[in-house]
Amino acid sequence: MEGNGLPQQYGDKTYGTVDPKLLEGLTEQQRSSILSWEAFTQYQMAMAEITGNMKEIPTLPSDIPIEGDRHSIQRVELPGEGGVLTFMEHFEHPYRGFPFLEFVDKIDMMKKLIKGSLSGLYHSFRANKLKILLVFPAVLVFRELLQTGIYTFYRLTERHKIKAHRYSKAIRAFYKAFSEPRKNELVKSMDLRFMLRDVLCMILEFDNAYRFRAQDILVELNKDSLRKNPIKELNRLADLASSRELEQQVKDTWKLLKMFNSFYLRFDRQLKSMIVDVLSQLDLEEFKLMPEDIAFCKPRKDYVFGFTKNVIT
């Protein structure tokens, strides 16, 4: 270790080197920026390797990045109309958003908590279908638990929450749909809507696996069908999403979402009405996958997107 705190060597690997040819013809500020970013990146790689050797379970399958997800950042722009554009090597179009490590880690932790809870519930009900009968008397208690959970996740994201106009284009549309006033809405319901908005927007912004899936599926939404029979339309979308998944674990998550729709939403009219209002307000043209999004979707091997030819519908 060097005195500046940046590891230069660990084991038989050397970190923190930049090809001098890449720095030729650049200004001092540009060279400094490249060297600083490279040093930070290599620092993170070294720390990951060290902690990987320390942990009992060094790397979970879910922690392995999708091929094509990691590329060197060339520059970042803050356009006047909003959002953040991150230009990466090997991509003609910019990535919409900025995958800041601290934000991504926090969202990843929330995602694991949600997926773990959903998976546990699904397998519990699957093992003993009679447990579903317990849902009916527990609806009122579950409503309080759900609202408490939303508040808890909101507090986790609150200090990391980004400015609304810095969300990517699709998430700005989602944020706007959630922010539209609702007639005769109680203050408590409005507070819940705003907290749910902020949690979902942060998750979708900093987890591109969720964001790209949401963009791919919600453009299939039939708003007339949603207003006539919300549960049937939501379950149709869940079936469509499940048909495009390539991993059984994620298919099971969509099945649990259908169970939630079919049982809980029949009793919680407040939440059902909120979902209908938000999705009815969502501008699907603004929310859909754009060409620059599609470029980052193609490397994924765990999901078959609707813009490909081999989608099962």
- pLDDT of amino acid 264: 82
66 token code pair:
């999708």
CA dist., res. 253 & res. 245, Å (int): 10
294 token code pair:
């599609």
CA dist., res. 66 & res. 210, Å (int): 13
CA dist., res. 273 & res. 83, Å (int): 29
Q: Please state the pTM of the whole predicted model.
A: 0.74
DSSP SS3 for 158: helix
Dihedral sign, Cα of residue 270, residue 272, residue 275, residue 278: negative
Each as own residue / partner, the long-range contacts of residues 140-146 (CB below 8 Å, 24 or more positions apart, any chain) are 142/264, 143/268, 143/271, 146/268, 146/271
- Which residues in the chain show pLDDT less than 70? 1-24, 30-31, 33-35, 37-38, 40-41, 44, 52, 57-72, 101-103, 115-140, 309-313
Strand order in the sheet with 73-77: 73-77, 85-88, 95-96
- pLDDT of amino acid 63: 55
CA dist., res. 220 & res. 279, Å (int): 12
CA dist., res. 238 & res. 258, Å (int): 7
Q: Which of 244, 220, 216 is nearest to 234 (CA)?
A: 220
Alpha helices in the chain (DSSP H): 28-54, 101-127, 139-158, 169-179, 187-206, 208-218, 223-228, 230-244, 248-259, 269-281, 284-287, 291-297
- The CB-side HSE value for 210 (13 A sphere, CA atoms) comes to 20
- In the chain the first and final C-alpha atoms are separated, in Å, by 55
- pLDDT of amino acid 286: 96
Pairing of strands 73-77, 85-88: antiparallel
Interhelix angle 169-179/187-206, rounded to 10 degrees, is: 170
- pLDDT of amino acid 252: 81
